[in-house]
Structure 1
Amino acid sequence: MPDSSGDEFDPTAPDQREIGREMVDDSTGLGSVMAHAYRGEIDRVGTWRQRLDETTKWAVTLMAAILTWAFSSTDNPHYILLIGVVVVTIFLGIEARRYRDYDVFRSRTRVIQENLLANALDPSQGTEDHDWRAELSSDYRRPTLKVSFYEALANRLRRVYLALLGVLLVAWVFRITAFAPRQDWLTTAGIARIPGIVVIVVVGVFYVVLLGATFWPHERHAKGEFREGDPDDWKETDQ
Structure 2
Amino acid sequence: MSDETPDDPELAEEAEIGSEFAAEGSEMSSILGDAYRGELDRETTWRSRLDQTTTWGVTVVAAILTWAFSSGDNPHYIILIGMVSVSLFLFIEARRYRDYDVYRSRVRLFQQNLLADALDPSEGLEHEDWRSKLSQDYRTPTLKVSIWEAVANRFRRIYLPLLAVLLVAWLFRITAFAPNEDPLVTAAIAGIPGTFVAVLVALYYGAAIAIVLWPRSREAKGEFEEGDPGEWKESS
Which TM-score band (shorter chain)?
A: 0.7 to 0.9
Shift of 1:63: 0.6
Q: 2:62 and 2:223 mapped to 1: Cα distance?
A: 32
Counterpart of 2:231 in structure 1 is 232
Q: 2:150 and 2:140 mapped to 1: Cα distance?
A: 21
**3-state DSSP of counterpart to 1:218:** coil
Provide the TM-score with structure 2 as the length reference.
0.87
Alignment pair present for 1:86 and 2:84: yes
Q: Which runs of 4+ in 1 moved over 4 A?
A: 3-6
Counterpart of 2:118 in structure 1 is 120
**3-state DSSP of counterpart to 1:181:** coil
Percent identity over the alignment is 60
Pick aligned residue for 1:72 from 67, 70, 73: 70
Q: 2:156 and 2:197 mapped to 1: Cα distance?
A: 25
Larger relative contact order (C-alpha < 8 A, sep ≥ 6)? 1
Counterpart of 2:11 in structure 1 is none
Alignment pair present for 1:183 and 2:181: yes
Q: 1:27 and 1:149 mapped to 2: Cα distance?
A: 40
**3-state DSSP of counterpart to 1:183:** coil
| Aligned residue pair count | 217
Q: 1:153 and 1:34 mapped to 2: Cα distance?
A: 33
Q: How has the CA–CA distance of structure 1 residues 60 and 139 changed in structure 2, closer, same or farther, with 3 Å as cutoff?
A: same
Shift of 1:126: 1.1
> Deviations for 1:87-139, whole angstroms, at most 9, x for unmatched residues?
00000000000000000000000001000011111112110011111110000
What amino acid is aligned across from residue 231 of structure 1 in structure 2? G
**3-state DSSP of counterpart to 2:231:** helix
Counterpart of 1:110 in structure 2 is 108
Counterpart of 2:43 in structure 1 is 45
Counterpart of 1:16 in structure 2 is none
Q: How has the CA–CA distance of structure 1 residues 140 and 91 changed in structure 2, closer, same or farther, with 3 Å as cutoff?
A: same
Matches within 5 A, 1:107-186: 107-186=105-184
- Check the 8 A contact 1:96/1:149 in 2, yes or no: yes
Counterpart of 2:220 in structure 1 is 222
- Structure 1: gaps (5+ residues): 7-18
Q: 2:99 and 2:40 mapped to 1: Cα distance?
A: 14
Q: How has the CA–CA distance of structure 1 residues 165 and 128 changed in structure 2, closer, same or farther, with 3 Å as cutoff?
A: same
- Check the 8 A contact 2:104/2:222 in 1, yes or no: no
Q: 1:163 and 1:156 mapped to 2: Cα distance?
A: 11
What amino acid is aligned across from residue 164 of structure 2 in structure 1? G
- Structure 2: gaps (5+ residues): 7-21
- Check the 8 A contact 1:110/1:225 in 2, yes or no: no
Pick aligned residue for 1:199 from 186, 197, 200: 197
Shift of 1:231: 2.7
